Structures are given as structure tokens and as C-alpha cells.
Structure 1
Amino acid sequence: MPPPIAGTPARQTLVGVLLLVASMWALSGLDASGKYLMGPDPGVTLFVVCLVRYGVHTVLTMVTIIPARGWKALRCSRPQAQAARGLSMLAATMLFFTTLHYLPLSQATSINFLAPLIVLAIAPWALKEPPFLSRWIAAGVGLLGVLVVVRPGSGLDPAGTLFGLLTACALASQYIASRRVAVDDPYTTLIWSGAVGSAVMVLTLPFYWHDLVLLSGRLSLPQWLVLLGTGFWGCLGHFLQIQAYRRTPASLLAPFVYFQIVSAAALGWLIWKQFPDLVSWLGIAIVCASGITIGLIEWRRSHAARA
């Protein structure tokens, strides 16, 4: 990570928490935009949404980071790991947008929080870390919470549930790749995140260019703004996260990541009048509690190891 920003610890912690919460709203804005765009009206295809989302992301990072840091910001020590991270991020985006085609925003977001628990569960093999029973228990409890959310009788589409679980697996792959590129400047990773996705979408453009042509004369100005906003919200969300982690230790910010459930539920209710029932909230609470608890256990374990 970049050098921490100077300031009183209490103030920097508060600023870091506020920036992280703001990033959760930005990323929920990205998800809500994708869900709206792929709805019956305007009916934008998945590939076009991803093309614009990653294209705008790349342009924004290039015009903001390169003037400040120079072309050296493009250099990375592990290009293969950066490419793997970018590909897993693109896969997670496509899978999650597909999930949102079937599921409400809040329930789909809650399934995503299985991803960090999956990483902890497979860390002994994927990251060569010591095995801990607490991690496997947390992963099992988190899975139980997701099963409560997607239980029979919940009214959720089984296809959406399947795509949601695949999204969690893709996100877990992205998190593992993120550990491997941690030696690079996070702003370099931010650029590569958009550039890899943009390159893939441009290379596959011959397969869906007609969708883009047909779309050009069909969208209204507000719909074009929502489409372009996917790249803005995605880039802004990741940028705010970088700023948050520069000011506040990751262990202190970990519980606030689950605030995205609140932002997703709020946007889902405001836009589509979709709100989880009490049993679904119970499942969401189980997922969040398992993640927060194992986060605290990991923090105490790392603190004891340093001591």
C-alpha cells in the first residue's frame, strides 16, 4: 500500500471509515446501474455494459493517475498476476450482473460475502498459510447464512442463486490474485484492473458489435448517463477504498465492509421496491456475523504473532 497519510490516529480512522462506507455506496451504485440497464427497458446486453464499464474505468484512471505519477504507474512487478486479477475481476463482474438479472440487489450482494470466507477456507492450499479450524467454521456458518437467504420458498430464482455462488467463487479468485499483486502500487493495480477488462471486451467486440450499433440510437440521454456511470461508480469505489486503507488499518475497516448490505438494500427498495423479508435478514445477519467474527479472530491472531 502507499505510505499512510499523516494525522492524528483517531481522525484518520474516522476518515478511513467514512471513505470505505462511501466506496460501498459507489459500488452498490455500479451494481444497481447494471441491474437497471440489463432490465427489459432499456435492455442493454451484458457485453455492452461490461465494455462501457471497463472502458470508462480505464480512461478515468489514465487521465487522473498518469498526470500525477507519470507513465511509471503502468509498470508492475508481476504482470501475469495482474492479468489474472483483471480476468477474475471481469468474470466476477459478468457473473454478478447476470445474477442481478434474476435476484434482488440485497440478496445477491449478501451471497458475495461468501467470497472472503472461501479465501480463508482454502488459504492453506491457495496461499500456503497454516490451516485454522476457526476459518473453516466461519466459512461453514457463512454458507449456512446464504442457505437461509436462498431457502426454498424465498421466491428467489434458482438460476440466479447458481450465478450468485459462481460470482462468490470468482471474487475469491480475485481476492487471492490481489494478495499476489500487493507488492505493486495500488494505483497501478487500479489501472490494470480496468485495462485488462477493456482489452478482453475490445478483443471480443466482433461477437457483439451489432448489439452496440443497435443500442446507439435507442437509449435516451439519462440512460446513456447511467451506462457511462457504470465505469465512473466502479472506478470511484475502488479509488475510495485505496484512500480508506491508506488512513486506517485493514483490521479496523473489515467490519464496515458489510455496510454494503445496507446500501444495496436501500437502493433495491428505492428503485425496485424490493426489500428482504425477516428470514432473509436473518440469513444476511448470519453471513455478516461470521465474517466480522472471523475478522476479529484473525486480527487478534496477527496481533499476538507480532507481539
Structure 2
Amino acid sequence: MTSRSVKPLQGAALLTLSALLFALMGVGVREVSDTVNNESVVFFRNLVGVLFFLPLVLLRGTRPLRTGRLKSHLWRSTYGLAAMYCFFYAIAHLPLADAMLFTYSAPMFTPLIARWLLKEPLTRRMLLTSAIGLVGVLLVAKPSAALVDSKALVGLAAGLLAAFAFVSIREMSDSEPAFRIVFYFSLFSTLISAIPLAWAWQPVTTHALWLLLGIGLLATVSQIVMSKAYGLAPPGLIGPFAYLAIVFAGVIAWLRWGETPDLTSLLGAALIFAASLLAIPRRRS
């Protein structure tokens, strides 16, 4: 096994790109959710991920996808899919701002989980930047009193499970390339998410099908970029850059639907950017 590399600048840049792609995917989900249920959105998102790799299989066969760490891929897929379902449940039963808050609380957990599972270093700087970023998310999301509702535990589980997924990506990065991690996540998630369609299937229009295709492509490319990012640097070091997805989503919502952020949201965005910049070490250790 080769040792895990640490390239924080490249990892941060890739995680920023991943955040942008996730924000664009969120726009697609919002557009399609008026006519397509959550079970179908989750299934098609994962199915497109599997189809994305068909050209690779046709050109190079299954050799690039062979792995000796199937169990690790299964755990990563379990964490990721469970987080996805919890997130959709939170969207359905909580205000959207609260659901977004829970999802982007994942970087708060990643340093602790990475320390526990991978023995990654945990510094005060990591904890400080994660805390600053979470405060920024609170200001942008403006969580309501629904946070104390019992259903909020499911939303909290979404963030916690997402953190486990991020750390599992880091754990596999010493031998598994990003595309292989995303392929097995898409494959296992498609097989598992197909089960609820037995009772939740509904007809899909051509327009909705194109939206689902775009959502799946954005999600897959974003997953590949994110997996590469966490392979280049510890989650606790670059995790705050995931908060930028909320900033990107706010800008897109303003351009697409005319949703103008208020002063509190702008202050939160500033804190998110500050946390992202502070996460970059001033000098190499």
C-alpha cells in the first residue's frame, strides 16, 4: 500500500468545484421535484451514475473497476445512500433551510471521525475552521424552531452519515482511484434504491427524464471530483470548503428565481469563505 498524499491546495480547489456541481444538481432536484417523487429521483440519480461508466467498460473492459476492497466500497455506499435518504426525508418533513443545515453539518463531524477511524491528526485549527463554517451555515440557513422537533434527529443523521462517507472515501484513497469509488457507490446504491420503486414507481415525462439525466451526470462528476479531493487531503483539513455549496446555491437561486439574500445571509456567506481560507495551512509542515 502506498501512503496517503497530502496536497491541501489541490484538494481544496477540487472540493470547491464539487460544491459548485452539487449546487447545480440541487437546482435540478428542485425543478424536477414538482412532478417526480423522492424515491424516483434517488434511483435515477444513481442509475445515471452506473451508465456513466459504460463507455469505460466498453473501451477498457472491467479491469479498471476490479477491486480487492469490496467490503470498504459497500460500507461507503451504505453510508452515502443512508445519508441521501435521510436528507430527502428531512426535506419532506422539515423546512428546507433546516434540512440544508443538517446536511452541511457533516464537516463538523469529519475531523472527529477521521481521528477515530484513520488516526488523522486533529488540530485546534481544524476544529476552529469547522466551527466558523457551521456558524456561517446557521446564519445562511436561519434554522427555525423545528430544529428541536424529534424529526430533526433524522436530519442530523444525514450529516453524520455523510461524514462517515467522506472519511470512508479518505480511507480507501490509498489504493482506490476516485472513479472506482464512485462507480461502486453508484452500483450498490442503484441496486438498493430500486427496491422502493416496487411500491413508489410513477410515470416520468420526457422533460422530467432529461432533468433526471442532468441531475445524475452532475452528481456523478461531483462525486468523482469530491472523491479525488478527499484523496488529496484529510477531511478535517479541507472539509469547510464543502460549505461553499450553500453560497453557490444562494447565488444560483438569486439568478434563477430572484431570491435575494438579506444581510444575515451575506454575513454567513462571509464566514463560510473565511473558514475555507483559514483551512489552508500557512506553511508546509
Considering the TM-score relative to the shorter chain, is it more than 0.5?
Answer: yes
C-alpha distance 181-174 of structure 1, shift in aligned 2 (>3 A) = same
Matched, 1:124 2:119: no
CA distance in 2 between counterparts of 1:103 and 1:268 reads: 16
The residue number in structure 2 matching 1:226 is: 211
Cα offset for 1:257?
Answer: 5.2
The residue number in structure 1 matching 2:48 is: 56
Matched, 1:97 2:88: yes
Q: Deviations over 1:249-288 (max 9, x none)?
A: 6599888655433431133234444343221332343244
C-alpha distance 121-149 of structure 1, shift in aligned 2 (>3 A) = farther
Query: Unpaired segments of 5 or more residues in structure 1?
Result: 1-12
Is 2:247–2:269's contact at 8 Å kept on the other side of the alignment? no
Cα offset for 1:74?
Answer: 2.3
Give the structure-2-normalised TM-score: 0.76
Is 1:88–1:173's contact at 8 Å kept on the other side of the alignment? yes
Q: Deviations over 1:208-247 (max 9, x none)?
A: 2xx31xx21xx4322221123221221232345578899x
CA distance in 2 between counterparts of 1:100 and 1:28 reads: 15
Larger displacement relative to structure 2 (24-33 or 136-145): 136-145
The residue number in structure 2 matching 1:27 is: 22
Query: Unpaired segments of 5 or more residues in structure 2?
Result: 1-9
Cα offset for 1:205?
Answer: 3.6
Cα offset for 1:172?
Answer: 0.6
C-alpha distance 155-120 of structure 1, shift in aligned 2 (>3 A) = closer
Give the structure-1-normalised TM-score: 0.71
Please give the residue correspondences for 1:1-307 in structure 2 after superposition, counting only pairs within 5 Å: 23-38=18-33, 41-42=34-35, 44-61=36-53, 63-101=54-92, 102-104=94-96, 112-151=103-142, 158=147, 164-182=155-173, 183-206=175-198, 208=199, 211-212=200-201, 215-216=202-203, 219-240=204-225, 258-293=243-278, 295-297=279-281, 300=283, 303-304=284-285
The residue number in structure 2 matching 1:8 is: none
Cα offset for 1:117?
Answer: 3.2
Max Rg structure: 1
CA distance in 2 between counterparts of 1:131 and 1:25 reads: 27
Is 2:238–2:276's contact at 8 Å kept on the other side of the alignment? no
Identity %: 25
CA distance in 2 between counterparts of 1:35 and 1:141 reads: 28
CA distance in 2 between counterparts of 1:258 and 1:47 reads: 26
Cα offset for 1:193?
Answer: 1.5
Larger displacement relative to structure 2 (190-199 or 264-273): 264-273
CA distance in 2 between counterparts of 1:116 and 1:285 reads: 17
C-alpha distance 258-125 of structure 1, shift in aligned 2 (>3 A) = closer
- 2:194 is paired with a residue of what secondary structure? helix
C-alpha distance 116-165 of structure 1, shift in aligned 2 (>3 A) = same
CA distance in 1 between counterparts of 2:100 and 2:82 reads: 16
Is 1:52–1:227's contact at 8 Å kept on the other side of the alignment? yes
Q: Deviations over 1:108-152 (max 9, x none)?
A: 65654432232113433232234433333333333433443455x
CA distance in 2 between counterparts of 1:239 and 1:180 reads: 15
Structure 1 counterpart of 2:25, which letter?
L
C-alpha distance 114-188 of structure 1, shift in aligned 2 (>3 A) = same
Q: How many corresponding residue pairs?
A: 269
Cα offset for 1:173?
Answer: 0.8
Structure 2 counterpart of 1:51, which letter?
F
Structure 1 counterpart of 2:132, which letter?
V
- 1:296 is paired with a residue of what secondary structure? coil
CA-atom RMSD in angstroms: 3.5
